Amino acid sequence: MNADLSLAGRTAVVTGAGAGLGRAEALALAARGASVVVNDMGPAADDVAAEITKAGGRAVAVTGDVGDWAMGDALVSAAVDTFGSLDVVVNNAGVLHDRMLFNLSESDWDDVVRVHLKGHAAVSRAAAAHWRAASKAAGGPVYGRVINTASEAFLFGAAGQPNYSAAKAGIVALTLSTSAGLARYGVRANAICPRARTAMTEASFAAGTSPGGLDAMAPERVGTFVSYLASPASERISGQVFVVYGDMVALLAAPTVERKFTAADGVFTVAELGGQLTPYFEGRDPRRTYAAYSVAALDDTGTTQI
């Protein structure tokens, strides 16, 4: 049985779609037949919408900051009013203010968390309200896909990115909540941790290719996977986190319990905690923390500068 990969008749919202990863995602969705609401802060959104239209697709640009809560409603309305439906949300918009924690200013924190985490929440909330109402009106599940953009930074706790790492961890939790809360309405929600060479990340990735001849960090590789997650073929995929780059897609497993410490008499004393935990951690590799450094072993592209 062939998987249904078509997005014909579907409408997608892509945030931060004026360049880089978002642009690649918007173009990939359009290539599969979706009408696209292209969001970004400036005129680049119009350029990408025009690019899609010129190629024979349908698109409209909506300029604005997803960190403004009302922008979520504006994007949903643009999808429904212009194309008649909302089927896919790709939350991609973000900014970087990389600092070590001791150099982090309040604005460095607020700007990154506002655009990444609040931006994801604003658009997801508006879409959720739309799909819930549509499901109630239809008397059953409707079609909905949410694809959120996390990062391996949430797995590693990047030392120079406390704001970005925290926002991306929050996005993963938001994705799980979205998946759990909207499943009954037909919505599937997943998070991707992409590596792509864009204007925002070019300092992190060196040039390189992998099988197929396409740059290992080409954003088009991520766009292909996003167009799959947006399709009917992904019906049974929800609440998942994927690492995506080069020639691979890696599905992450949920955290596991390494060791359970139990009080002998039902209530720990400080002395008993010291007796159980201190010996357990003696001689432990300092890199053996909650950070998932093992995920870095996936990289065989030779392009990552970390």
Distances (CA, A) of 77 to 117, 222, 287: 21, 27, 47
Catalytic residues: 151, 164, 168
**8 A C-beta contact, residue 196 and residue 21:** yes
Tokens 């985490």, residue?
117
For the record, the structure tokens of 296 come out as 């870095």
**8 A C-beta contact, residue 4 and residue 26:** no
Tokens 């949920």, residue?
254
**Residue 192 C-beta-side C-alpha neighbours within 13 Å:** 29
Size of the chain, expressed as the number of residues it contains: 306
What is the spatial distance between Cα 200 and Cα 287, in angstroms, rounded to a whole number?
28
